[in-house]
Structure 1
Amino acid sequence: MTRQFFVFGLAPLHCEYLNAVHGAEQYQWRKLFSDDEIVWYPDRPMRELLSEAEQTVAQCNGELAGIINHWDFPSSALHPFLCRQFGLRSASPEAVLKCEHKYWSRLEQKKALPEWIPDFCAIDPFAKDPLSQVTIDFPFWLKPVVSHSSQLGFRIENERELIQALKVIRGDVRRLGELLNTALERVSVPTEVGEVDGNWCIAEGLLKGKQCGIEGTVVNGNYYVHGIVDTVKDSRNLSFTRYEYPSVWPEYAQQKICDAGEALLRQIGFDNSAFGIEFFWDEETDDFKVLEINTRISQSHSDQFIKVHGVSNHEAALDIPLNRHTDFSNMRGDYQCAAKFMLRRYEDTTVTRIPTASEIEALQESIPGCKISILVDEGTRLSDLSSQDSYSFEVANICLGGQSQEEMLSSYRDLAAALHFEFSDGRGFEPFQFKSVRY
């Protein structure tokens, strides 16, 4: 009998990733919400989302093997509740929410690795005097207690910028905040978290240096890392420009963050789930810091794993329901390195032309393994795009592999220059997003 897996936000591209696992012919992938319903700031209450998900999964008329999540909140929070409802393996809801609630997570992280955690404090954006809540020095990074993709995140230099950022945050923070609050009602939140709920923000000291993330699983208490992915920002350190695999960090630095990841997850009581943890490393001072803990693999890394290992990182996501461990080191793909690039514009403007289908096809055929996804339409005002960070607008994704980093970066620059976009301001793509070297 075919084993059935429900997948949050299943889209056609994800089917390609899922079918790049061993024995894919034995499995059936079933959609649990579209990405529009669960990814791009859903406007539905958490209770309604959970109820619909329970009804959908209950209609499974075959062997229900598991539920796979590769998206951020709210699907990350729905996942453990659903698994508990249907007797499937997953981390506990409490452990997941300790990670998703960024303030609660920092409190737990500090218990495990106090030297790895930046100064932080909670801020109620609706307080009459939010400045009185700031207990760390300027500058700092401000973000909601629950968010993803750097949405509603701001670098704050002074009191004036804080007030301006809070005005923006107040207008949208409840969209995800209320979803988190409903989830928090179902678990026991410790008194140290206090009144800090999903509609609050967290201010954190700025992190310096290189950024990368470990991706792995905890299976029956056994901790595994299956990949380390570099997260590269533009030269102004504003927005992400690529996810590159494998990491080019030195071996000792990679080992340090892998050991740190285990300490963090054991403190949280995280078991039987996939995870991704982001770190910063200041090479000059050899100082390491934790950015955040995610409770899933990332679908943004899947193409890189296929190119380098010949299988998607969904192979690891299957380890939890199938009660196994996959060793990616024994797998070889067609490339030595791979990356997902995010092509951006940093100024608001209107798209007046996008590359045609034939142009994209010709470019993809010119470089083996190249995949180009256009994220805007002609007539799109960039400021109308959903789920963007606070400093730029993502207009295309380009996935590439290479036999060396230099070859791969050169191919990307050539492709970006060949993509025929036009914008109403008459400008092209800002050059500072194209780094010619790794760092």
Structure 2
Amino acid sequence: MKCADGSYARGTVHEARTILVVSATHRDHREIRRLFPSGIDFRFHDYASTCLEELITGNEREGDRAEDPHIEVGRILAGLDGTKVAAVVSTDDYPGAALAAIIAQELGLPGPDPRAVLIAQHKYLSRLKQVEAVPEAVPPFFLIDTAEGAELPEERCFPLFVKPVKSFFSVGAEKVASRAELVALLPRWRNCDEFFLPLERMLERYVGGGIGSERLIAEGVLEGVQVTVEGYAFGGRATVMGVVDSIMFPGTIAFSRFDYPSRLPEDVQARMADIAAKAMEALGFDNGLFNIEMMYDARSNRVSIIEINPRMASQFADLYEKVDGTSSYRILLDIAEGREPRFTRREGRHPFASSCVLRTFEDKIVARLPGEEELTHLEALHPDIRVELHGQVGQKLSDELQDGHSYRYGIVNLGGHDLADVLAKFEAVNAMLGIVLIPAEASERPSGAELAVAAG
């Protein structure tokens, strides 16, 4: 409940302890139940039968469709059936972040302005706001209309980095070397009406415009060290929690791991924090978490914004807990319930932590995954380990959501004394997982007996 001065009354926090988690992810279920085992009634909501991931990757099944978000909001509110809700949260990128903001506004609860969330998520509109606040951190950019016959950049403008104005998991983001390569990409994005539908509907209502056929953004190619700057906005002030280094597989834009704390110089990190605060203020973003991907080019000493995400980076939540002693999930719930968050620094069990990605650059069939006993044993050896496995025995890795250039099949988060310690632990954990992948043939999938033989 808002006070006359625009703040949220603390007393209302204790009147209801039902918290709605919109577009809940597997990480939400795992981390929230671990951090808050009792005392709160969490209502985990899924976005109807929407399969946006499949719609954008081309793996959609018959019947997949994107529900109108306004209908979904009405359905969610009706489903509460009079239950008093203390907070509305989401860690989901699309459409969860915007849906949660809309629902919080409808219920008079703390949350970012839906308009700010939507502008931040639309990569072109976000760039326009960034130019107002931090022009020195914005590369050249322009919209690309995917309609047939629309004007395209001249050859002299290439190479460019092209991506959809809304995406997730780096799907559709790629370096384009020529006009011909760009032309070849356009048909795919002309036929993505269903994927863009939720954003289109929400933009129309809360921003006053839609996407139409202007579905791609082209930007100048950035070089340097990539990081994620993550923080929160509360009471009109943005605070940065940390800077996480993004480590790529050599010669690719595929993530190998994420290291925290960053090894960038402190003065560079301070500049990044200042840029982040100015950008989020320009967007009018408050009462929520954000993460901003940035690039630092040491040769030019330039910091550039890659993109802004008006949500927390849930993959890093336990990295902060390991190093700083505070999970970003705690910050998320504090803000959502109107409490000023307290983020501790360097009070965790480890000086260093990494989120290591299990990835291959060839499609494979999963022949073996570890069982519960093996995972329990790993957790006994490393009490704060997080293991996520993306794949099913007998299925191709391409059956899961992938970035279009490689095949991720797991994530392992570990803490340690330093990078060398974490990498040694990761190598041992990877061996103990015993994951077996076999070549993906064009013929029929292997039988159970064949998988057993392949798995040894």
- TM-score category by the smaller chain? 0.7 to 0.9
Please say if 1:256 is aligned against 2:271: yes
User: Which residue of structure 1 aligns with residue 355 of structure 2?
Assistant: 340
Partners of 1:18 and 1:312 within 8 A in 2: no
Q: Once the two structures are superposed, what CA deviation does each residue of 1:173-192 show, in whole Å capped at 9, x if it has no partner?
A: 333311111001112447xx
Q: Once the two structures are superposed, what CA deviation does each residue of 1:34-90 show, in whole Å capped at 9, x if it has no partner?
A: 79757745732223332322223x3252x4111011110111111221111111111
Give the superposition deviation at 1:261.
0.9
Greater Rg by CA: 2
Secondary structure of 2:250's partner? coil
User: Which residue of structure 2 aligns with residue 433 of structure 1?
Assistant: none
Distance verdict in 2 for CA 1:12–1:159, change over 3 Å = closer
Distance verdict in 2 for CA 1:71–1:98, change over 3 Å = same
Q: CA RMSD in A?
A: 2.6
Please say if 1:149 is aligned against 2:172: no
State the number of aligned residues.
416
Secondary structure of 1:242's partner? strand
Distance verdict in 2 for CA 1:205–1:32, change over 3 Å = same
Give the superposition deviation at 1:109.
0.7
Kindly provide the amino acid, as one letter, of the partner of residue 385 in structure 1: E
Distance verdict in 2 for CA 1:354–1:198, change over 3 Å = farther
Give the superposition deviation at 1:236.
1.6
Distance verdict in 2 for CA 1:182–1:372, change over 3 Å = same
Distance verdict in 2 for CA 1:286–1:237, change over 3 Å = farther
Within 5 Å, give how 1:34-45 maps onto structure 2. Answer: 37=50, 40=53, 43-45=65-67
The one of 175, 180, 196 equivalent to 2:199 is 180
Determine the C-alpha separation between the residues in 2 that align with 1:351 and 1:25: 37
Within 5 Å, give how 1:28-427 maps onto structure 2. Answer: 28-33=41-46, 37=50, 40=53, 43-45=65-67, 46-56=69-79, 58-59=80-81, 61=83, 63-129=84-150, 132-133=152-153, 137-171=157-191, 173-189=192-208, 196-197=211-212, 200-329=215-344, 332-386=347-401, 388-418=402-432, 419-424=434-439
Q: Once the two structures are superposed, what CA deviation does each residue of 1:310-346 show, in whole Å capped at 9, x if it has no partner?
A: 3321111123233333332356222122222221111
TM-score scaled to structure 1, two decimals? 0.86
Distance verdict in 2 for CA 1:359–1:322, change over 3 Å = closer
Kindly provide the amino acid, as one letter, of the partner of residue 53 in structure 1: I
Determine the C-alpha separation between the residues in 2 that align with 1:66 and 1:331: 28
Partners of 1:138 and 1:156 within 8 A in 2: yes
Partners of 2:226 and 2:294 within 8 A in 1: yes
Give the superposition deviation at 1:161.
2.0
Give the superposition deviation at 1:368.
4.2
Kindly provide the amino acid, as one letter, of the partner of residue 46 in structure 2: F
Distance verdict in 2 for CA 1:164–1:12, change over 3 Å = closer
Kindly provide the amino acid, as one letter, of the partner of residue 307 in structure 2: E
Percent sequence identity over aligned pairs:
27
Determine the C-alpha separation between the residues in 1 that align with 2:429 and 2:147: 45
TM-score scaled to structure 2, two decimals? 0.83
Secondary structure of 1:149's partner? coil
Q: Once the two structures are superposed, what CA deviation does each residue of 1:357-412 show, in whole Å capped at 9, x if it has no partner?
A: 444444444444333222111221222222x2121111111111112111002222
Distance verdict in 2 for CA 1:79–1:252, change over 3 Å = same
Partners of 1:215 and 1:276 within 8 A in 2: yes
Secondary structure of 2:299's partner? coil
Kindly provide the amino acid, as one letter, of the partner of residue 305 in structure 1: Y
- Is the deviation greater in 333-342 or in 196-205? 196-205
